[in-house]
Amino acid sequence: MRTGDQVVQDLPWKWGVQGKIFIIGGLGYMFDAWDVALNGFLTPLLGTEFDLSTGERGLVATANLVGMAVGAVAWGTIADRVGRKKAFSLTLMIFALFSVLGALSPSWEIFLVLRFLAGVGLGGCIPVDYAIVSEFSPRKQRGRVLAAMDGWWPIGTTFAGLSATLLVPVSGNWRWMLALMVLPALLLFWVRRGVPESPLYLARMGREPEARAVIDDMVMRTGATPEPYEIPVVVPAAAASRKRGLAAGLEQLRMVWAFNPKVTGVAWSLFISVMVVYYAALAWMPSILRAQGMGEVAAFGSTTVMNAVGILGVVTAVLLVEVVGRKWVIGVAALLSAASLLVFSLVLGSPTAAIVMIAVFGFFSLVVIPVMYAYVSELYPTELRASGFGWASSSSRAVTGFVPLIFGSLLWPVLGLPLTFALMGVVVLGAVIFMAVAAPETRGRELDHIVTPEKPVLVAPDDTAVRG
């Protein structure tokens, strides 16, 4: 007899069932992108209004990204402990609240604190959204669905660019940029309340009646043939595993590394290297172009082109991910995105060539990132999926959070753009080689049966794992 997990992963894809989860989860991811991209537009505007130095301007993006690093860890752990559904809604509510307050900031210092707190809320969107979407997606379509999730990213960054460009002439424009983003986020928070809990999560928690109710409903709504299935019995949790707060987060971190150190090392190195390159460009591209003599509208518009072209990158990722596999797409596209940014720095004296290379970078970045997200979310078992993804995401947020500050105060002024981007490219190359030799391909594999743990894992009803 098959398990409930297997039934869910073999259901036919229906837009009214799994597609609804994909859209609602993707919209949350869109706001993550909108908010991160907005940092690049806020930096020069706040710098002018509050007369900030280059280093202080870097803190505008750093405060937000460090908050997201904290949020990715906290919410990934929360989602693995109390459920995807609760975390799914609360992340957006916290983000919206502190974004509204940020738009009303009377000083730069208060703005930084509020941007950090907004980041804590929004930082949970990626690990929580990817966990719930992956657990509802059929196995045959999972790679394309998770890659397509990243299609929401260039949509969000494009909205950020368009709103910033259109609001440049408006007095107090940076405040309106923040306020404009909050209204649809609040609407989405309300919609998310109707999303069911993940049946895979319910099964791992030992909540069999609830898991069966969700699975039976999905079977009926997708038109699949009903069949008997079993929900495997879980093992009672050890008392030592029942930790809360910071201790719970650290315990999840220990289990993520204990599960398979090589896999976690690959996940972290990919996230850090690829996202350092991407966030450095996203946070500083308007400032780099303004330093070349472009006006605000031209600089903002060129950056918007980079984000909009990324939509084509996501489409390409969706088409390739199930054909050539995750590892090949990540390896080739990651190196090409880093190389295109290096070429951009070498042709910066020619505005036309520079804008072309910005578009090329935007394309390849949004080929590699969605496939990387899909790949990492598949490497971990259900009881560690949100926290495993969350810790990998947090590692990159923690490092990239300081990149805007270091980039603006040290790398760009001291090393220059070509050498800075060349060094970043070398780091990406190292991560790709590590992935090639240390992690498996996940294409077409059943979730929870892709990577072998270093030690036996017993799943506990409070959704922790007890090591044998």
Question: For the chain, what are the domain ranges?
Answer: 4-467
Separation CA 42–CA 102 (nearest Å): 12
Q: Is 409 exposed, middle or buried (0-12, 13-18, 19+ CB in 10 A)?
A: middle
Other beta carbons within 10 Å of 378: 25
Separation CA 305–CA 167 (nearest Å): 17
Q: Indicate if the pLDDT at residue 466 is higher than 50.
A: no
Please tell me the predicted confidence (pLDDT) of residue 404.
64
Separation CA 110–CA 46 (nearest Å): 13
Please tell me the predicted confidence (pLDDT) of residue 440.
87
Q: Is 349 exposed, middle or buried (0-12, 13-18, 19+ CB in 10 A)?
A: exposed
The average pLDDT across 329-356 equals: 91
The average pLDDT across 14-25 equals: 89
In this structure, of 39-53, 355-369, 437-451, the range with the lowest mean pLDDT score is: 437-451
Identify the helix (H) or strand (E) that includes residue 230.
none
- The more confidently predicted of residues 151 and 429 is 429
Highest mean pLDDT among 83-92, 345-354, 431-440: 431-440
Query: In this predicted model, what pLDDT tens digit does every residue of 36-83 receive, in sequence order?
Result: 788 878 888 888 888 888 778 778 777 887 888 788 777 777 777 777
Separation CA 423–CA 429 (nearest Å): 10
DSSP code of residue 224: P
Is the CB of residue 434 less than 8 Å from the CB of residue 313?
Answer: no
Instruction: Name the token pair of 329.
Output: 């797409």
pTM over 0.75: no
Beta carbons within 8 Å of 209's beta carbon, 6+ residues apart = none
Is the CB of residue 380 less than 8 Å from the CB of residue 259?
Answer: yes
Q: List C-alpha distances in Å: 1 to 4, 233, 449.
A: 10, 14, 17
Confidence band for 295, pLDDT divided at 50, 70 and 90: low
Please tell me the predicted confidence (pLDDT) of residue 248.
64
Best CA proximity match to 326, nearest among 377, 385, 375: 375
4-467: CATH number: 1.20.1250.20
Q: Indicate if the pLDDT at residue 271 is higher than 90.
A: yes
Q: What percentage of the chain's residues is helix, strand, coil (to nearest 5)?
A: 80, 0, 20
In this structure, of 89-98, 103-112, 240-249, 270-279, the range with the lowest mean pLDDT score is: 240-249
Confidence band for 13, pLDDT divided at 50, 70 and 90: very high
Please tell me the predicted confidence (pLDDT) of residue 201.
83
Mean pLDDT rounded to a whole number for the chain: 81
Separation CA 23–CA 181 (nearest Å): 18
Separation CA 369–CA 419 (nearest Å): 23
Q: Indicate if the pLDDT at residue 373 is higher than 60.
A: yes
The amino acid at 298: A
**Beta partners for residue 457, in sequence order:** 467
Please tell me the predicted confidence (pLDDT) of residue 454.
65
Q: Indicate if the pLDDT at residue 89 is higher than 80.
A: no
Separation CA 272–CA 53 (nearest Å): 27
The average pLDDT across 112-137 equals: 84
Highest mean pLDDT among 27-36, 281-290, 349-358, 394-403: 349-358
Identify the helix (H) or strand (E) that includes residue 466.
strand 465-467
Please tell me the predicted confidence (pLDDT) of residue 96.
82
Q: Indicate if the pLDDT at residue 239 is higher than 60.
A: no
Identify the helix (H) or strand (E) that includes residue 458.
strand 457-459
Separation CA 400–CA 170 (nearest Å): 31
Residue where the block lists tokens 């690959």? 266
Identify the helix (H) or strand (E) that includes residue 331.
helix 326-346
Please tell me the predicted confidence (pLDDT) of residue 235.
54
Confidence band for 304, pLDDT divided at 50, 70 and 90: confident
Distance separating the N- and C-terminal Cα atoms of the chain: 27
Confidence band for 297, pLDDT divided at 50, 70 and 90: low
Is the CB of residue 437 less than 8 Å from the CB of residue 327?
Answer: no
Q: Calculate Rg over the CA atoms of the chain.
A: 22
Q: Indicate if the pLDDT at residue 456 is higher than 60.
A: no
Q: Indicate if the pLDDT at residue 240 is higher than 60.
A: no
Other beta carbons within 10 Å of 439: 25
Other beta carbons within 10 Å of 418: 15
Q: Indicate if the pLDDT at residue 166 is higher than 80.
A: yes
In the chain, % of residues over pLDDT 70: 88
The average pLDDT across 2-26 equals: 90
- Please provide the size of the chain in residues: 468
Q: What angle (nearest 5°) sits at the alpha carbon of residue 405, between those of residues 150 and 99?
A: 55
- The more confidently predicted of residues 41 and 410 is 41
